[in-house]
């Protein structure tokens, strides 16, 4: 069973995972997990915000555009293989929930489910979207991360609730 926790009470663990092994972004009503390693958490517009970056070429982009909500799932170290798998394969081609033996839970505030195997999840509703503008971006970043010209869209998700397994 999950209990609601303070929004920033597990932020260190969340950011450690984001930096090291990645987090699992879930989009779509049926749930499609995608590994993310870039994002921020903070306060914008007097709201708690989880900011994520998604390339338009990703299947998750299509799902987020159709349903502007997402969950962020914080995996345990034991899920390292599953996190890697979700970053290597597209939901267009394979059912990652099935392949990783994930079980889904119903979110409290949004239509997108969370992954039960991840002990912490954030429920977010998109309140703003911006596109990375290459003419405004540092040229070193472009040469390192955007050699194909597939610039991210940046989504600002208002954190409606954070939940942790008891």
How confident is the model over 84-129, as pLDDT tens digits?
Answer: 999 999 999 999 999 999 999 999 999 999 999 999 999 999 999 9
pLDDT digits (tens, 9 = 90+) for 118-166: 999 999 999 999 999 888 999 999 999 999 999 999 999 999 999 999 9
The whole-angstrom separation of Cα 27 and Cα 70 is 5
State pTM to two decimals: 0.96
Closest CA to 112 of 82, 152, 84, 72: 72
State the residue range of the domain holding 129: 2-165
Structural domains in the chain (count): 1
Q: For residue 153, count CB atoms less than 10 angstroms from its CB and return exposed for 0-12, middle for 13-18, buried for 19 or more.
A: middle
Closest CA to 72 of 55, 60, 81: 60
The CATH number linked to 159 is 2.30.110.10
């Amino acid at each position: 069973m999950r209990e609601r926790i303070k929004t920033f009470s597990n932020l260190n663990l969340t950011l450690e995972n984001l930096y090291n092994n990645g987090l699992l972004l879930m989009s779509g009503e049926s749930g499609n997990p995608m590994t993310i390693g870039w994002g921020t958490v903070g306060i914008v517009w007097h709201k708690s915000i989880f900011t994520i970056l998604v390339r338009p070429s990703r299947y998750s982009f299509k799902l987020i555009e159709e349903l502007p909500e997402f969950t962020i799932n914080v995996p345990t170290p034991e899920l390292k293989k599953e996190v890697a798998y979700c970053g290597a394969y597209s939901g267009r081609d394979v059912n990652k929930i099935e392949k990783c033996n994930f079980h889904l839970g119903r979110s409290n505030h949004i239509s997108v489910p969370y992954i039960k195997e991840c002990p912490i999840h954030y429920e977010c509703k998109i309140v703003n979207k911006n596109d990375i503008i290459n003419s405004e971006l540092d040229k070193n970043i472009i040469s390192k991360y955007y050699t194909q010209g597939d610039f991210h869209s940046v989504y600002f998700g208002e954190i409606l609730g954070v939940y942790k397994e008891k």
